[in-house]
Amino acid sequence: MEFKHKSVLLQETIENLKVKPDGVYVDGTLGGAGHALEVCKKLSATGRFIGIDQDAAAIETAAERLKNYESQTIIIRSNYCSMIREVQNLGIREVDGIVLDLGVSSYQLDTAERGFTYRADAPLDMRMDQRQEKTARDIVNTYSESEIYRIIRDYGEDRFARNIARHIVKARENAPINTTGELAEIIKQAIPMKARAVGGHPAKRTFQAIRIELNQELEVLKQSLDDMIDLLGDGGRICIITFHSLEDRIVKNIFRNSEHPCTCPPDFPVCVCGKKSKGRVITRKPILPTEQEIAENPRSKSAKLRVFERIKNGEDQS
């Protein structure tokens, strides 16, 4: 199946990236190369683009779509948490822009055997990097009831988390839960019929929660974002597209702390903590998709774009 993914907030992201023809740009979630292609179109012969993705299908598709820009492009199969190491291995100390599109691709959702969707019956997988051994099946069948409850409560923000966890553990006592269809049916039984009638598919939040836990999506973002901001050169920008409140909150807080890192009490006349601002938040409020984009691509509905600009304030840039 061809890797298809319609890039969300495409023009807004490219505009905010402020691409310099001779700059160096990194896309940490390369996907189908939608954002990448627009960046590459703006680069001169001396500009460079580095694309990173952990999905083999994405790497293959992106290489094909960017073949006209081969001389400027380097594509790496890795997780964006390794971005600093990968870029430094290329002899690059700083970059002019970074893009992260944190959504699950349409390809991953629409390829039933990847196990991301509750709309088809397939093996419980959900691995973004299929070199990883652990799958969603392992979480569903080996985590304790309290661990499953925590995941669904925290990552799925589902008010029926406790009941869903109880139903999952009870069901697996009879036989392992092997497929997305089996899990979706168990979740459905755990949610009152009245609640099932509103708010979309009853399994949506639980599937999201398991996927986040399996791929450690929030931890990777938390642990990587400060370093990515540090990788930016003076005036460089990082553009991040999120699709649910937990990711957006992490990005918002880290951007805000990078702009105002001072931890001194507010009544101190001068700063003594020594923490210096890394730059400025460009998006006081996130950029949202237009009604037209939502109509053309319903999956863009929950997308939010936040942008941060690095300002080195006379730091040693040698």
Q: What confidence category does residue 107 fall into, taking pLDDT thresholds of 50, 70 and 90?
A: confident
Mean pLDDT of 97-104: 92
Q: How confident is the model at residue 5 (pLDDT cuts 50, 70, 90)?
A: low
Which residues of the chain are in CATH 1.10.150.170 domains?
125-215
**Tens-digit pLDDT profile for residues 228-281:** 999 999 999 999 999 989 999 999 999 999 999 999 998 888 888 989 999 999
Q: What's the pLDDT tens digit per position in 28-78?
A: 999 999 999 999 999 999 999 999 999 999 999 999 999 999 999 999 999
Which pLDDT score is estimated for 318? 37
Q: How confident is the model at residue 197 (pLDDT cuts 50, 70, 90)?
A: confident
Taking only the tens place, the pLDDT of each residue in 266-297 is: 888 888 898 999 999 999 999 999 999 999 99
What digits encode the pLDDT tens for the residues 125-140? 999 999 999 999 999 9
CATH numeric code, 10-107+217-310: 3.40.50.150
pLDDT at 315 over 70: no
Whole-number mean pLDDT of the chain?
A: 93
Is 314's pLDDT higher than 70?
no
Residue 194: per-residue pLDDT? 86
Q: Sheet harboring 95-101: ordered strands across? A: 73-77, 48-53, 24-27, 95-101, 232-242, 304-310, 279-281
Where in the chain do CATH 3.40.50.150 domains reside?
A: 10-107+217-310
Percentage of residues in the chain having pLDDT higher than 70: 97
Q: Helices 34-41 & 10-17, crossing angle to 10 degrees? A: 40
pTM comes to 0.92
**Whole-number Å distance between alpha carbons of 211 and 203:** 12
Among 3.30.70.20, 1.10.150.170, 1.10.3470.10, 1.20.1630.10, what is the CATH number of 125-215?
A: 1.10.150.170
- What would the mean pLDDT of 116-121 be, rounded to a whole number? 92
Residue 96 reports pLDDT greater than 90: yes
